[in-house]
Each structure stands twice: as structure tokens, then as C-alpha cells.
Structure 1
């Protein structure tokens, strides 16, 4: 079989290279001797027959309404995928658009798609910097955050606790939101390249749903060494020492 990873509205939602998380999943599958492809979905007409995982990247406020319009054409499918357990990784603005709503700095509000609980609210200043998260589900995750909104009223479980950075803000000590396999995060990057264990957890779920086995390939081990070095450098820069 061929695994298909759909990246949604990448023409608008790829500001920090977040849409490339789809390519990380596909390449790791290929290294494990599985066929995989990435399909860019700008509207419902672009949808492939089968979707094994979904990636939604981040954007900026100038294209917020246009990005919402694109995702709105996929609203029912996003809800169905979430219910069925198709992994959905949404970063930054892409995540915010899956919430109840997005508040701009001028006080105007963009209605979200309501796939994830919570809402994005404007903060007094933009937060930019290293973000380190301890996730009970995916281990320690590193990346960087760059956002001008906090995330509040999330009734689902957070992705994890912040060890460095603001995450969801409001001194919550939390980062991201998780509902089943719908995963929202401020971790930019693409986050899956720097956190291969996170990528493999998503792939393992994709494989399990397809009824096939997944074991990371030999080349993945080589690349993961580079990722480990990058993670160590970022942890040192953030002043975080992990428990061994």
C-alpha cells in the first residue's frame, strides 16, 4: 500500500516550514521500505481517495481569513478524521483555526472550525524563542515558538508541560492541546524533523490503522543522530537539563 499524508492549504499555511512535517513523515516511511506520498490539498477537489495523516502548518494574520475559507471546505472531513483517529498535526495558526475562534490584536474575531476546544486570544506582546516541552505521551519535545496569541479554555489534555518558553501562555505551564490524535502545538520547525520520536509515534499509529508493521529504517538512525545533536544544542541554549 501507499501511505498518503495530506498537507492542507500549504500555499497559505507554511510560514515556518511547518507544512514540511508531511515530508518528514513520508521520508521516514520510505526509509522503512513503505511507499508514501505527500498531497497538497488547497480545497476539497484536491483530496486523494485515502488519507493516512494530515498536516496543517502556520500562517500569518494577513491570510487568516483566506486560510479559514480553505479549511472550511474540509470542515466535515476534519471532524470525521478526528473521530476516526487519523493523526492530524496542526501548528500555530493552523491549530488556532481548528479552535473555537481566533482573536486578532484589533479585537476582531475569526470564527474557528470548532474541531478542538479552546480559543486563541491576543496577548500584549509577541513571544519568540526556544520552547521545550515534557510530554507524557511523546517524551521531551524541542522547537521554537513565534506567536502573538495565548491559548485558553482548552478542555482537552495539553500536549505537555513547558520546561522553557511560554507555550499556551497565561502562566498555565502548558503547551498545545491533544484530543485523540488531533494534535495542536506552538512548536514550529518543522517539529518532526527535530523530534523523530514524535514523528515515529504518529507513523506507528498510521501503520497500526493500516494493519502493517513499522520499524524505523537504517537511514532514519543516521539522521536521528543529527537531530539529537540539534536538540542538545537547543536544550543548552534554553538552559534545560533533562533527567537521565
Structure 2
């Protein structure tokens, strides 16, 4: 039984990002592996055997509350990260794992320091489709954030093709098996190639190989069509064209 922990789903699910955990569980089941999603709101609720961690995005009004709860999980999260358990963090969930969040008034909310970099104020809020080119293929989603991100230039998730991302031409950060991004959607539903990469890591830790099930193949065609609609609207080549991952 694979166990996927989703942290603080009541506070960190503004854009439906907690559903990324359900995407992982469902695709694992389609591939013939039992899986469950466990909501974690305190350290005592974090399962001893945790195969993946999902952290969604939340509102700025809940940042300090969410950070304080996550601090109680900090040591356990570091253990999981060190042991190679994949972590997917979205938006403010990612920012809370960073060195800290700088606000426009000059104050700073210290983060957990698990991933390099910090969130810094943007001149204008980024609200648009976000498309990036990554080693996993083209990734598409929606961004909605008031902060840029610095310190991740050496290890981004990908290069921005359209949108703002980190604000430096790159998007997200990858450190070991920790994957952080501004992409909403939820990102794994819209980009199953990334979900399958995480599942490959998860199952490899159990000495098993991952192969997408037949149902996943059908669903992936729908996701690809949706990504291509976004690409065409933004003037990018659809996937399957020679420039599809440029």
C-alpha cells in the first residue's frame, strides 16, 4: 500500500492543489498498485511509512498559521527528504519550505529552509497561463502569485515559454526529489508526465517499476488536448509538432 501524505489540506488548497495527492493515488491504482491519501494536519498524523508528500498553496492570511504547523513537522520532513521521498510543493506551500517570504512592507516570514531560495515581492501580481519547457516535457498550468522567487536559478523546474514563473526566465525549483512550482491546475492532472515521474521515484524505492495503466493513457489524451488548446492560444506549437517542446 502506497501512502501519499497531503499537508494541511484545509489551509493549503486554495487552487485545488491538494488534489495532486489524489492524482498520484489514482494513477498508482490504474497501474495496479494500492494507494491511499492521508490528510496531515499535525505531526502525529504523518504516517510512519510515507511514500510521497504533497503541499498545496494557500492565502497570505493563513501563511503564518500554516508555517507554524509546518514547523512542528520540520524534522520529520527533513528525514523524508533526505531519504529520497518525493515532495511536491505548490505556490505558498513551496514558499513556506524556502528560506523565507519577504513582504512588501519589508517584514520577513521565515520558512522551513528545506529548499534553496526565497520569495520576494513582485511589482505586479502574476495571473496568467504559465507554460514551461522542462526535462520532463512541456508543462502547462495557471499562475496566480504576488511574489517572484530568487535563489533557484541553478536548479529550476524548467524554462518559461509563456508567463512569469520565478521572474527570471525560469520556473520552480528542484532539489533532489523535492519539486516546487507555481503551476496550478492541479499540475499533476494537467501534466501527467510529471505525475508519472513522481510515481517512478515512489515505486523504485519499493524495488518496483512503474508503467502507466490503460485508463491513464486514455486520460492523458484529454490532458494533452487541453494543454494544446493553451499552447495554440499563446502562439506556441502544440505538442507533437517539431517545436512542441521548444
Do both share a fold (TM > 0.5)? yes
**Could you tell me how far apart the structure 2 residues matched to 1:235 and 1:121 are?**
28
**Could you tell me how far apart the structure 1 residues matched to 2:235 and 2:59 are?**
29
Q: Could you tell me which residue of structure 2 aligns to residue 200 of structure 1? A: 196
Q: Answer yes or no: is the 8 Å Cα contact 1:56–1:94 preserved in 2.
A: yes
The one of 194, 207, 211 equivalent to 1:215 is: 211
1:126-168 deviation per Cα after TM superposition (whole angstroms, max 9, x unaligned): 11001001112x1110001100000012265100100000100
**Could you tell me how far apart the structure 1 residues matched to 2:57 and 2:151 are?**
21
Tell me the TM-score normalized by structure 1: 0.96
Q: Secondary structure at the match of 1:142?
A: strand
Q: Could you tell me which residue of structure 1 aligns to residue 138 of structure 2? A: 140
Q: 5+ unaligned residues in a row in structure 1: which ranges?
A: none
Is 1:178 matched with 2:174?
yes
Aligned length in residues? 240
**Could you tell me how far apart the structure 1 residues matched to 2:188 and 2:104 are?**
30
Q: Could you tell me which residue of structure 1 aligns to residue 105 of structure 2? A: 106
1:34-45 equivalence runs, <5 A: 34-45=33-44
Question: How far is the alpha carbon of 1:65 from its aligned partner?
Answer: 0.3
**Could you tell me how far apart the structure 2 residues matched to 1:117 and 1:166 are?**
19
1:7-46 equivalence runs, <5 A: 7-46=6-45
Q: Answer yes or no: is the 8 Å Cα contact 1:157–1:178 preserved in 2.
A: yes
Q: Could you tell me which residue of structure 2 aligns to residue 79 of structure 1? A: 78
Q: Could you tell me which residue of structure 2 aligns to residue 128 of structure 1? A: 127
Question: How far is the alpha carbon of 1:240 from its aligned partner?
Answer: 1.6
1:86-133 deviation per Cα after TM superposition (whole angstroms, max 9, x unaligned): 100000000000110001233221101000010001112111001001
Tell me the TM-score normalized by structure 2: 0.95
Q: Secondary structure at the match of 1:18?
A: coil
Q: Secondary structure at the match of 2:48?
A: coil
When structure 1 is superposed on structure 2, of 194-203 and 76-85 the one drifting more is 76-85
When structure 1 is superposed on structure 2, of 230-239 and 2-11 the one drifting more is 230-239
Q: Answer yes or no: is the 8 Å Cα contact 1:117–1:155 preserved in 2.
A: no
Q: Could you tell me which residue of structure 1 aligns to residue 225 of structure 2? A: 229
Q: 5+ unaligned residues in a row in structure 2: which ranges?
A: none
**Could you tell me how far apart the structure 1 residues matched to 2:104 and 2:24 are?**
34
Query: 4+ residue stretches of structure 1 with deviation over 6 A?
Result: none
**Could you tell me how far apart the structure 1 residues matched to 2:58 and 2:105 are?**
18
**Could you tell me how far apart the structure 2 residues matched to 1:45 and 1:130 are?**
38
Q: Answer yes or no: is the 8 Å Cα contact 2:153–2:170 preserved in 1.
A: no
